[in-house]
Amino acid sequence: MKLRSALRVRYVAIGVGVLACCALMAWFAYVEALRHYERVRAGEVAQRASFYALSLEAQLARYESLPRIAALAPVLTRLLRNPGDPAEQAAANSYLKAVQTNAQLAAAYLMDTRGNTLAASNWNEPGSFVGRNYAYRPYFSDAVAHGVGRFYGVGNTTGEAGYFLSVPIRDPEHPNAAPIGVVAIKAPLGSYEDALANSGDIVVLTDRDNVVFLGSVPQWRYRVLAPLSAEARAHLRATRQYGDAPLDALPGDTLRRYRVHYRPTGSLGWRIAILTAPAEDRQTAALAAIGAAAASALAFALAAALWLRHTRERERVRARLALQAAHRDLETRIAERTAELTQANSDLARKVEALDDARRILRDTRDAAIQAGKLAALGQMAAGITHELNQPLTALMTLSNNAVRLIELQRIRELARNLELINDLAARMGKIVAHVKAFARNDAVEREPVSIDETIKQSLALVQGHRKANDVTIRVAPIPDEAIALASAIRTEQVFVNLLTNAIDACAMSEDRKEVVVEAAMTARTVRVSFRDSGPGIAPEALPRLFEPFYTTKSAGKGLGLGLAISQAIVDEFGGSLSAANVEAEPGRRSGAVFVVELQRATVQSESTT
């Protein structure tokens, strides 16, 4: 009886210990899974926020030059000189209507220096701007004081929201004198808000005072994510930015149910806010915890079964006293070992097959990561490319209008010159688009002779917008014609674009000289291309980890830490190397960083295969 009682206590203790281990594994799995899913969700949300921000900035950039072009029209200057002339007013109204129609704007209008509207595209419509005074609007005072005014708000006359852009008009005969008027346009952002509503995200656009003015949830419009200060509320009332909206805060329990991710955008202090529900991550982590607990219980059950089986087998072996029993036991053991070897051979074959599958998946994953890196670089260059295309598009509009007028006047020689300029601008736009299409192509991994000179030229064209935005000079030393590497043109271009982008970002942090130097040199077997910047250099603690995936020294929202890792993988694939070091002006003082790409020369490969 005492033995049975002791065994019962022992089994109970073992059961309690097993349950405790399963609970501990479940808790550990829940914590780690929740942390992992939160990191993954944050990365995904950051990418989507960047996409929304770039889309908005691209749309706003389309309207940036329109008021400046409109301000050059002599008909507006004549009306400002003679504000009471009905003929001049009619001509100005007609011109502004044409601007509004061709550019698909909500309105275009002209104000004098006191803010009184003299002409407008809607002069013949109910709610016309003509005769209205908008001196209290910030875009009017900013245009007079700073040369340009930007503002988003609800129209005081129409009650419809829009994005306002304005510039001053100066007398051509006295260009240095004070402005004689202001021309403004009102652009609709309804298509952007529709895109947000169809995105599937809970995403809103807020101003610097946390007031929601666009978003995928119409009921949140003109509500605030945080209480407004008395000063901010008074300013909004004075400018009537959002009309008579009460600007109440969202219900407290609304924000408590979500995690808010912000991303700055535009030049007016706006922010993209994406709201995600943390409950989904907790549910997924709970499922992972249940799986871990079940796996732990199964492991303990298998261990107990093996232990019981071993105990019973040992008892049977001890019961065999005769030689016949020992012989049967030996045969049994031989059969078991044979089965184990057969199973081991089968397992080995499956592992070899799984290893081949894993290698194929690794290769496909690497190619996908390289293509994703190119698309991410294109996303970062989108604003610059848009700017490069926007200028020729604007010029094309002006030249097309001139061509129509020249045909009417029968000025054939000037018309021919005008058409030549249109053809040149179209060719320029075609080159820009061709560069982007070639860069985005998902090419096959085949090594071939690649001209380093041509690859550097293509890469410089792709980073041109980013270089101009940061006011950085790129100096390329003469590249020898025989600098031919054995690689892939598109993937080599991806590496160069990434290194040039990083160098431009580093130079942007410099307060004096902003210069990137690109040089190429050759040895008997390799081609070496170096990218040296005048930035602050690389911190000593960052150098050993520079090529680790997801390690970045850039601020949040400006990089995922994959660019250098992908670039190193591409160069390694070609049998080359990618290294980084600091440039020291004097011992202990950094004066920039240099990245060196070393590739095999095409002539070396040709000689080895003949």
Q: Retrieve residue 455's tokens.
A: 């690859």
CATH number for the domain spanning 93: value is 3.30.450.20
Q: What is the share, in percent, of the chain residues with pLDDT greater than 90?
A: 35
For the chain, the C-alpha Rg in angstroms (whole number) is 35
Nearest to 273 by CA among 227, 228, 226, 215: 215
E-assigned strands of 512-603? 515-522, 526-533, 577-586, 589-600
Which of 394, 420, 437 represents a domain boundary (last residue)? 437
Query: Which helix H or strand E contains 154, and what residues bound it?
Result: strand 149-154
Sheet of 107-111, strand order: 117-120, 107-111, 181-187, 161-169, 149-154
Q: Are residues 408 and 516 in the same domain?
A: no
Residue 521 sits in the same domain as residue 594: yes
User: What pLDDT score was predicted for residue 441?
Assistant: 56
Q: Which of 134-138, 283-287, 509-513, 569-573 has the lowest mean pLDDT?
A: 283-287
Q: Which two tokens stand for residue 186?
A: 């009102």
Q: Are residues 125 and 268 in the same domain?
A: yes
Q: Which of 90-94, 173-177, 323-327 has the lowest mean pLDDT?
A: 323-327
Query: In sequence order, what DSSP letters do the residues of 8-22 get, joined into one string?
Result: HHHHHHHHHHHHHHH
Establish if 350 belongs to a structural domain.
no
d(CA 188, CA 193): 10
Give pLDDT, residue 608: 45
How far apart (Å, rounded) are the C-alpha atoms in residues 410 and 421? 18
Choose the final residue of a domain: 280, 307, 329: 280
Whether residue 324 lies inside any domain: the answer is no
Retrieve residue 22's tokens. 């399963």
Residue 300 forms part of a structural domain: no
Say yes or no: 460 and 426 in one domain. Answer: no
In a domain, 314, yes or no: no
Domain assignment of residue 598, yes or no:
yes
Q: Are residues 453 and 424 in the same domain?
A: no
**pLDDT of 468-498, one tens digit each?**
989 999 999 999 999 999 998 888 998 999 9
Axis-axis angle for helices 412-440, 452-462 (nearest 10): 110
- Could you tell me the residue range of the domain that residue 165 belongs to? 63-280
597 with 495, same domain: the answer is yes
Vertex 562 angle, CA 204 and 443, to 5°: 100
**305 belongs to a structural domain:** no
* C-alpha to C-alpha distance for 50 and 56, rounded to whole angstroms: 10
Q: What is the CATH number of the domain that holds 569?
A: 3.30.565.10
Domain assignment present for 549: yes
Q: Are residues 426 and 509 in the same domain?
A: no
Measured distance CA(136)–CA(149) in Å, rounded: 13
578-597 per-position pLDDT tens digit: 999 998 766 656 678 999 99
CB 48 within 8 A of CB 181: no
Confidence check: pLDDT of 424 > 80 = no
Instruction: Report the interhelical angle of 452-462 vs 489-508 (nearest 10°).
Output: 50
| 275 lies in the same domain as 387 | no
Q: Domain tally for the chain?
A: 3
Are 454 and 432 contained in the same domain?
no
State how far the Cα of 93 lies from the Cα of 87, in Å rounded to an integer.
10
pTM higher than the cut 0.75: no
Cα dihedral 508, 509, 513, 515 in deg (nearest 10) = -40
Calculate the CA 164 to chain-centre distance: 26
Assigned token pair, 574: 């070609």
Residue at 307 is within a domain: no
Neighbours of 540 (CB within 10 A): 9
pLDDT tens profile 362-386: 455 555 555 555 555 555 555 445 5
Q: Same domain, yes or no, for 449 and 425? A: no
Q: What are phi and psi of 522, to 5 degrees?
A: -130, 150
Boundary of a domain, candidates 388, 416, 437: 437
Sheet holding 212-215, edge to edge: 212-215, 202-206, 270-276, 259-265
User: Which residue has better confidence, 7 or 390?
Assistant: 7
Same domain, yes or no: 407 and 489: no
Both 118 and 192 in one domain: the answer is yes
Torsion angle of C-alpha atoms 582, 586, 590, 592, degrees rounded to 10: -60
Q: Rounded to a whole number, what is the distance in angstroms from the first to the last CA of the chain?
A: 89
